[in-house]
Amino acid sequence: MCTGYDAQIPEITHCNLYGVKERRMKMLSSYGNGIKRAFLEPKMIVVLWLVNFVSASVIYFLFSGYLSDVIGNRLVAANFLKGFDFETFFELIIHEGEAWHWIFYVAFILAFLYYWVSLFLHGGILSLLKSRGITGEVGSRNMRFAPAFFQGAGKYFGRFFRLTIYSFLLWLVFGIVYFLLNLAMKPLTAGGTNEPAIYYRYWARAIIILFLYFLVRMICDYARIWIVAEDSKAVFRSLIQAIQFVFRNFFKTLILYYLVLITGLAIFGIYWVVQKMVPTQTLLPILIAFLIGQILILSRGWLKIALQAAQLHFYAYIK
Amino acid sequence: MKKIALVVFVCLFVLNCFGFSALSKHVVDYRIKAKLVPAEMAVIGEEVLTWLNDSEVPVSELQFHLYLNAFKNNRSTFMKEGGGSSRGSNLKSGEWGYIDVKKILIKDGIDLTLMMEFIHPDDNNSDDQTVMQVLLPEPVQPQETITLKIEFYSKLPKNLRRAGYYDDFFMVAQWFPKIGVFEDGEWNCHQYHSNSEFFADFGIFEVEMTVPKEYVLGATGVRKGETENSDGTKTYTHYQEDVHDFAWTACSDYVEFREQYTLNDPPVNTEMILLVHRTHLNLKERFLQSLKYGLEFYSQNYGAYPYETITLVDPPIKALGAGGMEYPTLFTTLGISFLPEGLRLPEMVTIHEFGHGYWYGIVANNEFEEAWLDEGINTYSEIKAMDKYYGSDRSMIDLGCLKISDALQNRIQMIASERLDPVVKKSWEFNSGGSYALNVYQKAAVTLLTLENYLGEDVMARVMKAFYERWKFAHPKTDDFVAVAEKVSGQDLAWFFDQFLHSPDKLDYAVGSLRSREIKEPEGLFQGQLKSPSDNKEEGREKTYKNEVVVVRKGELIFPQEILIVFENGEEVRERWDGKDRWTRFTYYKPVDLKSAQLDPEKKLLLDINHLNNSLTRKPNKLMPLKCALDMMLKFQKLLTVISME
């Protein structure tokens, strides 16, 4: 059955013509498509980066002012240019720790607000990706970026907000699953003297938590895709549909998700190696290191778009 | 005269033959038979104790420690002070511990059982049964001995603190009726407190321990015998002279390793016995290496390790309440199998607890009353050993870019804590367990590191060696340490110890302000002549600046200060200040501006609680806030991308 989304994307109408073998390859094709699409959306990447940069710059000003006041005219300040001086850091916390509370408080509020802003932008990303079709080369590429992006963001924000509320149910279910799995593992460490078992149980718990966390995030991603693709106002139903979709295509959706995650880790690895090579003791290298960091943040924005585009592509073909 | 010399010589010879060549004066002689009953989590024991009245007055009653009664109920002094949950979980029914003295007889048969009564010398807590007094039918005269036969039943607590059991792990410590110390004409026999440890006289211990034969046993002293019994048990006999306590452990999960340790200078030859829990076998080399380091460091810096054995006990993870504890020739360490190598907790605990063999084991201060003498001195020694063998900047933690030394972690703990108590105080009179630990461990150790920086490393090394030499196998007090330090250094150090051991106040000096002002050129009437600034320019006179440095004492404690003042042209001036006034000012008239001033430039005063305010520069460092704030901003940016799942 063709949907409203299908109607806008010519390629999707051929979905029933794909054979089984081609479907198996679809997640790799979707991954490639997502990566390619993200390169076609530099403005979106810049918007994501800009919001991130502006939010975080508050921390820069707070921290810079704090450090200038507290140790700007102390000789120990120079120690931080050579590396991280733990002794001075601990002393700062002990003797001048009051300001840290305020900085953390502001950081918490910023992070909270940022979550909702990014949810708002998520609507823009998906609606623009949808309007430009699966390959990004058809439909409304000529339309102006800002109106299309922000109209989409505004249009879907309310629905995404409700989805976030409903997703608490999902978190609850997975919390129970985690609890039960943990309970099942408990006999392995009964008595508490088998340290290797305790050790492996810690690891198993961490892996389960991460797995469930990414699974819930992925289901929510597909629910948002459903809402945008079908222009659905039935948010709860979209969530149910997304759950069904994910569990029907469990391994494919997971592999696609983890492919993008691994790409992100690889980029971070490269960043880590590069930034280690920059000695930050004078002004120019400090600025270069910061610029390298901003490239990383840009790459995260790019990766977010790649993930959404890849999942949208996969959804369009599989559905 | 010749006759007298001959008599003296003969007397010395006879005394030597009868064992008076021992390292310590043998005030006590314990011969104990003990049987572990795992089903009851208990030890059934019989003790023959010979006690020498080494005082100059007759003694008409004896006092004994019954430490296990600290775990008898929730009304004991130990439980009331510590809330009953120190080093472990709260005890439930059947997990309580106690010691029941069944019978006490004088060797000639007089039964003293009815003469026993519990006393409470420290706090009048009538529910506390950790000290027992026994009235004697006749006083023990000076330099006479009395021999008692005591039957007892020791129920071990579920591993709570130091002693106890967990599954089939047994740490049998403070387990037998142990006589107090008679000194200065009275008994020194304190109750078992939440924050206190122990005090006892030196002597001989010969102990027979019977345990199920599948158990691996470790104990104080040298194994003299091992016999298998028909009932599926084994009896081990251990013997040790010149110690003041006896502890043992048994567990079927121990893997025993034995290796001889030898050192040429000073000569040391001892057997290292490692009882490693089977789940910690990967830590064996770490335990062994740190024990070797401990043996080498303490032998070379204080005195040759004098015993034939040293036993390291590694408790299972659920019995860590028994870990990190010292007994003569035996100690418990701490091991968690998955600790990374860069986290040197097992090494630190091993060196620290081994070190207690010296500071507590050999130099046997009263831990109830002046715990710093062993804990503080030993923490100081541990820091020195850790720095030597694991690197002075990373001795405690060495994980990638995270490097923390043992000295730093002790100093940070010290400066982060409230200052409520002095270092020297009775253990149970501290404001809290935290205040006790802070003062007797961290502050005492940092005090000695500061003293080392003040006296010089070489002088301090001689102080420590002399203190050990003078007070080995004896009971020193704080004043004895001060006396040795003053004698060896040739300095009056009362001002130092009075402040840092006996006052809870803080040491904090700061550079208060820097000022640099150009001196105005002469202007106005001088000897009838009118001078203007332009006249001076014509004369080619240089500008002169009045440079002022104000240093202040923010804390109550006083320490002589050294100040390094740097001018813009690179010129350096070092000043000294006795630090007594609340502030002082240094003024310089120079053709250049001040650049910076720094108190304690070599960072000798580790006791100074705030090193941030020890310096001041006239021009702020703008690069550091920029770098750190950008770095922090980037970290926050990364966090935001995680929140939004980018």
pLDDT class for A172, splitting at 50, 70, 90? very high
pLDDT class for B417, splitting at 50, 70, 90? confident
Interface of B with A in 328-347 (CB under 8 A): 336-338
pLDDT digits (tens, 9 = 90+) for B104-133: 999 878 999 999 999 999 999 999 999 999
> Domains in chain A: how many in total?
1
Q: What is the pLDDT of residue B532?
A: 74
B626 contacts in chain A (CB < 8 Å): 64, 283, 286
Q: What ipTM, to 2 d.p.?
A: 0.90
Phi, psi of B262 (to 5 degrees): -130, 145
pLDDT at residue A139 greater than cutoff 80: no
pLDDT at residue B432 greater than cutoff 80: yes
Q: Cβ of B222 under 8 Å from any chain A Cβ?
A: no
- Distance between CA atoms of B246 and B233, rounded to whole angstroms? 21
3-state helix, strand, coil in chain B (%, to 5): 30, 35, 35
> CB–CB of B403 and A300 under 8 A?
no
pLDDT class for B533, splitting at 50, 70, 90? low
Phi-psi region of B182 (alpha: psi -120 to 50; beta: other; left: phi over 0): beta
> Domains in chain B: how many in total?
2
Angle between helices B372-390 and B345-355 (to 10 degrees): 130
Q: Cβ of A142 under 8 Å from any chain B Cβ?
A: no
B193 within 8 A of B78, measured Cβ to Cβ: yes
- Distance between CA atoms of B491 and A74, rounded to whole angstroms? 34
The residue from B213, B232, B251 where one domain ends is B251
**CA–CA distance from B540 to each of A203, B588, B591, B593 (Å)?**
78, 22, 13, 19
pLDDT at residue A17 greater than cutoff 70: no
In the block, tokens 């709570």 appear at B160
CATH code: domain of residue B33: 2.60.40.1730
Q: What is the pLDDT of residue B507?
A: 96
CATH code: domain of residue B606: 2.60.40
Q: Cβ of B317 under 8 Å from any chain A Cβ?
A: yes
Nearest CA-CA distance, residue A275 and chain B, Å: 12
Nearest CA-CA distance, residue A209 and chain B, Å: 16
B336 contacts in chain A (CB < 8 Å): 195
- Distance between CA atoms of A46 and B445, rounded to whole angstroms? 55
User: Which letter, b or e, does each residue of B26-43 get, where b requires 16 or more Cβ atoms within 10 Å of its Cβ?
Assistant: bbbbbbbbbbbeeeebbb
pLDDT digits (tens, 9 = 90+) for B437-472: 999 999 999 999 999 999 999 999 999 999 999 999
Q: Which residue of A has its CA nearest to B315?
A: A193
pLDDT at residue A3 greater than cutoff 50: no
The fraction of chain A above a pLDDT of 90, given in percent, is: 66
Q: Cβ of A200 under 8 Å from any chain B Cβ?
A: no
**CA–CA distance from B53 to each of A307, B56, B358, B375, B474 (Å)?**
85, 8, 26, 29, 16
Q: Cβ of A220 under 8 Å from any chain B Cβ?
A: no
pLDDT class for B17, splitting at 50, 70, 90? very low
Q: Which residue of A has its CA nearest to B510?
A: A74
Amino acid at B278: R
Q: Which domain holds residue A148?
A: 4-318
| CB nearest to A73's CB, from B620, B632, B638 | B620
Task: Tell me the DSSP string of B322-340.
Answer: G-SEEETTEEE----TT--
Q: How far is CA B234 from the centre of its chain?
A: 36
Q: What is the pLDDT of residue A24?
A: 55
Q: Which residue has the higher pLDDT, B544 or B310?
A: B310
Q: Cβ of A107 under 8 Å from any chain B Cβ?
A: yes
| CB nearest to A111's CB, from B408, B614, B640 | B640
User: Which letter, b or e, does each residue of B112-150 get, where b requires 16 or more Cβ atoms within 10 Å of its Cβ?
Assistant: beeebebbebbeebeebbbbbbbebeeebeeeebbebbb
Q: Is B465 within the bounds of a domain?
A: no
Phi, psi of B574 (to 5 degrees): -110, 130
Phi-psi region of A145 (alpha: psi -120 to 50; beta: other; left: phi over 0): alpha
Mean pLDDT of chain B: 92
B612 contacts in chain A (CB < 8 Å): 70-71, 74, 76, 88, 91-92, 95-96
Q: What is the pLDDT of residue B21?
A: 61
**B617: nearest Cα among A1, A71, A208, A211:** A71
Coil/strand/helix, residue B241: strand
B638 contacts in chain A (CB < 8 Å): 296-297, 300
- Distance between CA atoms of B427 and B421, rounded to whole angstroms? 11
B623 contacts in chain A (CB < 8 Å): 81, 282-283, 286
User: What average pLDDT does this structure show over A90-105?
Assistant: 91
> Which of A64, A100, A288 best probes binding to B when mutated, by most B CB atoms within 10 angstroms?
A64
- Total CB pairs under 8 A between chain A and B: 180
Interface of A with B in 32-51 (CB under 8 A): 48
Bridge pairing between strands B59-65 and B222-228: unpaired
- Distance between CA atoms of B363 and B328, rounded to whole angstroms? 11
- Distance between CA atoms of A256 and B523, rounded to whole angstroms? 84
Q: Cβ of B316 under 8 Å from any chain A Cβ?
A: yes
User: Which letter, b or e, does each residue of A82-109 get, where b requires 16 or more Cβ atoms within 10 Å of its Cβ?
Assistant: eeebbbbebbbeebbeebeeebeeebee
Q: Is B442 within the bounds of a domain?
A: no
pLDDT class for A171, splitting at 50, 70, 90? very high
Q: Which residue of A has its CA nearest to B643?
A: A115
**CA–CA distance from B487 to each of B421, B454, B459, B480, B493 (Å)?**
28, 15, 11, 11, 10
Nearest CA-CA distance, residue A301 and chain B, Å: 6
**CA–CA distance from A313 to each of A33, A130, A239, A305, B532 (Å)?**
7, 10, 18, 12, 86
Instruction: Map B578-601 to HEC letters.
Output: CCCCCEEEEEEEECCCEEEEEECC
Q: Which domain holds residue B539?
A: 509-620
Q: What is the DSSP letter of B308?
A: S
Contacts of residue A191, Cβ cutoff 8 Å, sequence gap at least 6: B167, B318
